[in-house]
Structure 1
Amino acid sequence: MTRDDLIDKVQYGVMTPDEAEAEAELLGLRRLASHGDKTLDPLREPDWTLPMAAAWIAYRTSDAVRGQWDDYRLDCWEWRFRKWRVGFDGPVHEGHFLEQCSRATLAKLSISDSVDQRAARDPLFSMTVQEAIDALWIALRGGATNRVVLKRRRGSHRWLAPRRPAITRA
């Protein structure tokens, strides 16, 4: 059985992700779902995205920042449940798809905070992600950085000088 065979069985609901992972291990295959290189240290990076900065403000851990770092996330693969069908009128299947993690956004960070990361917060720096995002915007408006790059939806960038009177969300 190949890696692709295992993934197909999980997509069709014949196997669970855990069963496929165990079978892959027995066959000597690498893990199907995977996380990026946890030795990457985002604290050594000179430039951070807004989700990375908000994660630091809320959690104060390099693991939380790493989880919002796109370079790390693009090496992560996760199982995601789907109901799906082949064609317009084919039978409906239920299974898990192995998908690459998408780029981090402030909205996804907020959702993950409400779902599963509250326990990871340091009680001395107790702040929700939404409070961290608000604090980040206040700091940016006050000129707390040397430069800020906001990406727009179509991939263009807008450079903002420090101490600019107003920063708006792109």
Structure 2
Amino acid sequence: MKTKDAKDVKKAEVAKKAPVKKAEKKKATTKAKYLPKPKAAKKSAKKQSKPTSTRYSSIINHYASTYGVSSALAHAVVRHESNFRPEVRGSAGEIGLMQIKLSTARGLGYTGSAKGLYEPSTNVQYGMKYLAQAQKLGGGSVCGTILKYNAGHGAKRMNPISAKYCSNVQAYMRSF
């Protein structure tokens, strides 16, 4: 004789295999996460991101001017790379606002530690120097510059990742 618990388990297994009606299925999968955000929440999110971008504007503008990079391009690259968050570290070891690698910074004359690249001014200084070189090697075009910045100065062909990056940067440039 089966115990009550064993019978309940058997019933639950049979219920799992039973077909579910469309109405029940739809009701079961509707989740609140798909609902649109209220307008007030959207506005507050935009307000929160704006001060972050202006927080580093003087540093970005200074080094962009120093190295001959347009302010709009410089801000757009920082926006794309880190969303103006200096503490970000990439999966391949990229650091800070401009997501520059320690080895790249060293090639540009940086003698400090990886930790030092988290400092916004240092990061933007070496990141902007690299971006300026990419701009020169890329022939001055935005997409040529982005290809060289993103895929390396030796990159010759636009790849899908760099093409998407370029598209994003061009869109961001319109807001700066």
Q: Shorter chain as normaliser: what TM range?
A: under 0.3
Flag the structure with higher helix content.
Answer: 2
TM-score (norm 2): 0.24
TM-score (norm 1): 0.24
Please say which structure displays the higher CA radius of gyration: 2
